[in-house]
Structure 1
Amino acid sequence: MILNDAQRLQSDLLAWYDRHRRTLPWRAPPGEVADPYAVWLSEIMLQQTTVATVKGYFERFLTRWPTVADLAAAPLDDVLTEWAGLGYYARARNLHKCANVVVERHGGRFPANEAVLLELPGIGRYTAAAIAAIAFDQGATVVDGNVERVISRLRAIETPLPDSKPEIWRWAEAITPAARAGDFAQAMMDLGATVCTPRTPLCMVCPWSWACEARAAGIAADLPRKKARKPRPTRYGMAFWLEREGKAGREVLLRRRPEEGLLGGMMEVPSSPWTEDPAADGWSHAPAQAEWTAVDEPVVHVFTHFRLELDVVRGEVSAGVVAEGVWVRLDRLADYALPTVMTKAIKAARG
């Protein structure tokens, strides 16, 4: 492919998109202007998450908080609770921060400028470009995982990811049109999601098959190449399920994790630090003196960069015992933002 083909690539892809575009809850219908709030919200949710998973979350968020001002005014705990299950909770905290900045500094309207968007909390190069292109039709280049795969095959780029990212961005920029940039960005995403798929690309129906260098070389299914992943280390810890008889019924102790770090700001069953030493002393982090009973099997949860084995123990104290945290009625646990690993610990503790 040479740069002189850029115009044909643009026209062929946009013509394909006009016929085959996906219908998504955050996507404006043909001929209508996209809502910047919806674009931003969906793009933050879609990071490291599938479209199928995000649809329900997006619709619930938009129903509960129809505008960025509504989201900014919401308590962070409510946002974290609605986010529970999507993972990568720093995204939810930055979502709330960003909503407040948009309201306080930009009058509740997302800026159209890509450079200004980059200054907002939780918005990086990809998200800024996506909002600028899709919501404001700016000539921004949008590169997500789908686009990386499409460009890698189009240009037969054999350098493994992530080392190939700069080259992929250069080629993506070279073919991004000045007009209909938002449609072009979404067309690239749709092409990667529905035709140029990871394992079995449907080259026979691809609008770019004529220009695809990987198809010509017979290596389309092998690209993009990726560096071998390092094995995930295992970390170990203890979780303490502590109950008491409260005035209105049985209660359990929860506490909030530090704002910074993994699962920052989320509620948890009190737990010890997570360390790579399986013999580390977790008992010294028990929230109170109690007769503790161990659950038979540890809870196992896999994060992006490590695997966690969490020993769960159960205990009970009298109503007068002082412990750091908040006592929550068992029938009100659903009101709190609990990450998946903690819901696993709760299930194990309650048998």
Structure 2
Amino acid sequence: MNAGEFIALPGNQCFYFMRDCTYWSPLGGGVLVARNHNLAFRIQLPVVVRQSSVLQSMFATSTACYMDRNGLICSAVFLDEEPKAIRCLLQYLLHGDYQFAEDCHKPEEVYWRVLVGMKYGVQGLVDAMLPVVRQFLHDEHEDFATITDWLELPFDDPSVPISLLHIALLLQGQHPHLLPSALVYCGLLSPRDILRPVKLSTGTTLAIPQPWTERCLAMQTSLLQVTVRIITETFKSEPSAECTNPAGPRQCAAILSALCSQALQKLTSPSLPMMQPFRVWTQLMTSGECGLCAGCMFDVHVREGNVLAEEWEMLPCILDLETSPGWPTDGDAVNPCRRHCVQPSIEATCDLVSEHHSYERNWNLHVDLHANGVNVKSESVPDSGFVRA
């Protein structure tokens, strides 16, 4: 092994490394080393340090050196970073490029770029990522169903929302309005996914930090309570004049009460998917079990829209977002939620669950409308969260 594969350390010690073939400049004056991976990047030092005062300071105080085969000496700096993170940093510093590879996971790539950009004082890289972050988080001109379909939120692999929450936490000092939207998206995960760490492609493990885990779980409870309130308020009115089954709305309210009271009790169970109650509600509404006639269905949709608007206008207060770090205090005082938060509808939420919750497709739901009271039972799925009411 020739001497070009070693970095000289103080005390006559040597550090063995492998070269990164992508970033190994033949005339580079500095070497960045991913310490935990024994991988080195040889760079054109003046170009890099000109854009990062942090790296400039590190190279100015460097005590390690590397001598190449031609006898040229380079300063060496050790970084406790993943090689992928260093490549993201050098890609921008040397080429001004922050594009993603076609086969990569974009939120994960954004996370690395924001992380190293802030850590090494490269504001240009951070600013370049903001439009991408906003694209993933929300678009106030699109409804929730369109956004969710566009994001393709993977309920069985929560790396996308968790990565977005970590990005929002990194940026909360500079762009505080990103954090509430990230919390709402993370709140859509099941408790199982919220509590489960995610391993990125680089080997790094991400987990929602405290107290954000508790906030996400509390948000799920609040979101479910709001949805229950919307539907129960919808069925409080008397049947329509054209109603052919006056008992239908009351049966719906009784069924919903039985389902959701048990769902709230088991919401924090890791085995209970968050959106399961909405899936059950969709089955009831589409199966004809509820007994709603056509006239009542029309009135239900009208009342649901009115109650929905009133409840979601209060979403920041309900979720206690206004007191959380990052919730903006300026802007539209009448309804800041419409500017900074997604506004899911019941129908959109049910459609979302129908598309993405593949593990709920084998449900065998039994609703007994004729016994004393309302009995709800689900079979074929262990620990579904719903037992006899």
TM-score by length of 1: 0.27
Higher relative contact order (CA 8 A, sep 6+): 1
TM-score by length of 2: 0.25
Of Structure 1 and Structure 2, which has the larger fraction of its residues in helix? 2
